[in-house]
Amino acid sequence: MKPTNTDPKRWPVVPAAVALAGIIVFIFATYGPPASSSGFVTTLKGFFLEVAPKYAETNPHYSALPGPGSWLMGFVIGMAAGGFAAGITGGRKVRDVPEIWVRRFGKSRIKRYATTFAGGFLILFGARLAGGCTLGLFMSGSIQMALSGLLFGAVIFATAMLSARIVYGKTNGRKQ
């Protein structure tokens, strides 16, 4: 069998994992608390502090979280900047609707955007309930050997594998 990914612009797995680990250890050494991508929350807190300050101050979720102007906010803005820099220098075309999705549901952008919106909603709702996301709870947690992170990782991988199977159905990602 030939490798599925012969794209020379994709970094190989092991060196990429070493590079990411270097960044994560740098974060542990400099920022202190483990990394997390739920900077969403800080932007929302900033929004509510503007339009409904009383709500933002009394809501237990917002009052427990750092506002804009925090490390978290910097991190997610940095993520977007890093994605941008890697994107423009990488020479790969991005698609608004992935190929695998087109094979199953067609080219409709509306369907794809509605699904990623709903998916994004569930991801963040679930992450806030569990206490963190892929990075904040699963990765950062497991790096500290936390049982919470390891359990969350097992649950999200198992559920996502099942969910993707239902979404992609019989095609199961294979090219026809």
Q: Name residues contacting another protein, limited to 29-88 (CB under 8 A).
A: 29-35, 37-41, 43-44, 59-62, 69-87
Of 26 and 50, nearer to another protein (C-beta) is 26
Pair 163, 173: CB distance under 8 Å = no
Whole-angstrom CA distances from 150 to 18, 24, 131, 145 are 20, 17, 13, 8
Q: How many residues bind another protein (CB under 8 A)?
A: 128
The DSSP call for residue 171 is G
- Asked if residue 150 binds another protein (CB under 8 A), the reply is yes
- Please give the residues from 91 up to 130 whose contact with another protein meets the rule CB under 8 A: 94-101, 109, 112-130
Pair 152, 132: CB distance under 8 Å = yes
Of 50 and 164, nearer to another protein (C-beta) is 164
Smallest distance, another protein to C-beta of residue 9, A:
8
Pair 40, 61: CB distance under 8 Å = no
Smallest distance, another protein to C-beta of residue 12, A:
8
Smallest distance, another protein to C-beta of residue 54, A:
14
Return d(Cα 5, Cα 145) in angstroms, integer: 32
